[in-house]
Amino acid sequence: MENSKYLIKGGRVIDPETGLDGLMDILIEDGKIASIGNPQSKIRNPKPELIDASGKIVTPGLIDMHVHLREPGHEYKETIETGCLAAAHGGFTAICCMPNTVPVNDNQSVTDYILKKAGSAGTVRVYPVGAISLGLRGESLAGYGEMNAAGAVAVSDDGNPVMNAQLMRRALEYAKGFGLLVISHCEDRNLTENGVMNEGAVATRLGLEGIPNSAETVMVARDIDLCELTGAPVHIAHVSTEGAVRLIREAKARGLPVTTETAPHYFSLTEDAVANYDTNAKVHPPLRTVADRDAVREALADGTIDVIASDHAPHSSMEKELEFDRAANGMIGLETSLPLSLKLVEMGLLSLMDLVAKMSNNPARILKLDYVGLKPGNPADLTIIDPEKRFTVDADTFRSKSRNTPFNGWQLKGKAVLTVVGGKIVFDDQ
C-alpha cells in the first residue's frame, strides 16, 4: 500500500458501529483510519492530500456479500478484475464471491487462485465463499478446513440448493468447528420443477411455468429448524417471499442465529418486469408479487433483513438473447445496488444509518471480519456518496463485462463518488 495521507473534509460521516452521524473530518494514514472528528491537531508533515466531501456522505466501506465473479471458468462473463472494478465503481470496498465457478471453489487451490487474482487486481477486497458440497453436487462435504485456512469466510452451494437435509445438517455442524458461516440458497428444486418465473397470474398469462413461493419457504423453514438443531448460524441468501421473511422474523424472535439478505431487485421490481419476456428480468429466485415486494421492504425496515446484497450474476448475450425459458437466471447489480437502495431512504423506509448498517456493518459482523465501521486503527475502507447526484443507468458504461440488467434507462438519484480501500483510492468520480 502506498504511504499516502488523506484528509477527508466536511462530509457527513455516518457509522452505525460508533453511532457517528455528523459533519466531521477523517484523517487517513498508512492505509488506516488515523482519527475522526477533529483530526487537524493530529496532522503531521507531510501534509495530507485534501478530499473535499462537503455535501457528501462518508460511510464505512460498503460490503456486498453476494457476488458471482465467474473466474475461474467463465471469464467471458466477468473476471475477478472486472468484477472488482465494477464493485469499486458501485461504492463497494469488499465483496464475497460465490463458489459456482469452473472449477468449483471447493478446495484450497481454487480459493488460493481467486485471492491471488484479486490481489493483483488491486482494487477491492475479495472474500471467497467456498462450496458446501464437493462440486456443488449436494453429495458430500467440501474441505472447509483447508478453504478456511486459505481465506474462505463462508460456505454456500449458491445457485444450487442443498436438497439433502442430512447433508445440510452436517454442513452446519462441520462449519461450526471452523467458525465458518453457512449461506443457504433456499429452494426446493422439486417445487421449482420447470419453473422459469413467479407462479401466478403473470406466468399463467404468458404461458410460462411458474415457481411457487413455497419453493423458497419450505427450505427456509427447514434451514431454520436445522439451525435450531445444530446451533450453527445460518445466513439465508436472497429472500424474495413474504413467507420467508415471516419465518425468519419468528426465528429471530426466538433468538436463533439466523441472518438474511435480500437483493435490490426484490425490493425494486415485481413479476411484471417479466411481462414482455424480458430475459434480463429472469432471476432465481424469481421476481415476485407486489405483496412479496412490500413484505421484503417491511422486513428491511423492521430489521428482519440484515443485509442488502446484489447477487451480481453476470451473463453474456449468449445466455440472455434466447427464448425466455432457455435464458440463464441472474442479473448484474454491483453498479446499481447502492442507488436502488438509496431509494428506500428516499421513500422513508430506512434511515441512512440503517442503510449503511445493511450494506457495511451488518455484513462485516455476519462474516466476522476483523474490522467493522469507522474506528481509528481500522483499515481505511470507506465510501463517499453523493446523495443528490442524478443519473440515468446506462449499462454500456458499466465496468462489469456483462450488461444483463433490467434497470437500464432508470433514472436514479445518489451514487458513490469515491471508494477507498486500505487508504488507496480505487474509484474517484468526484
Nearest approach, Cβ of 276 to another protein (angstroms)? Answer: 7
Say if CB 134 and CB 140 are below 8 A apart.
yes
CA atoms within 13 A on the CB side of 341: 33
Q: Which of 263, 297, 308 is nearest to 281 (CA)?
A: 263
Q: What b/e readout covers 76-85, taking b as 16+ CB neighbours within 10 angstroms? A: ebbbbbbbbb
Say if CB 133 and CB 142 are below 8 A apart.
yes
184 or 279: CB nearest another protein: 279
How far does Cα 129 stand from its chain's mean position? 12
64 or 199: CB nearest another protein: 199
Give Rg (Cα) of the chain: 21
Selected catalytic residue, list 311, 325, 394, 428 = 311
CA angle 140, 146, 148 (to 5 degrees): 100
Nearest approach, Cβ of 354 to another protein (angstroms)? Answer: 34
Nearest approach, Cβ of 157 to another protein (angstroms)? Answer: 25
DSSP string, 96-118: EE-S-SSS-S-SHHHHHHHHHHH
* CB-based contacts of 353, cutoff 8 Å, min separation 6: 14, 16, 21
- Paired sense of beta strands 20-29 and 6-15, if any: antiparallel
76 or 145: CB nearest another protein: 76
50 or 322: CB nearest another protein: 322
| 285: preceding bond cis by omega (within 30 degrees) | yes
Say which residue the cell 471467497 belongs to: 128
Strand pairing partners for 259? 235
Nearest approach, Cβ of 68 to another protein (angstroms)? Answer: 23
1 or 275: CB nearest another protein: 275
Nearest approach, Cβ of 238 to another protein (angstroms)? Answer: 22
Binding site for another protein (CB under 8 A): 199-210, 212, 276-277, 321-326
DSSP string, 256-285: --EEEEE-HHHHH--GGGGTT--GGG--SS
128 or 210: CB nearest another protein: 210
Nearest approach, Cβ of 217 to another protein (angstroms)? Answer: 15
- Paired sense of beta strands 20-29 and 32-37, if any: antiparallel
Whole-angstrom distance, CA of residue 309 vs CA of residue 306? 10
Residue 311 annotated as catalytic: yes
Nearest approach, Cβ of 193 to another protein (angstroms)? Answer: 8
Q: What are the CA-CA distances from residue 203 to residues 274, 278, 328 (Å)?
A: 9, 13, 17
218 or 342: CB nearest another protein: 218
Q: Which residues are catalytic?
A: 311
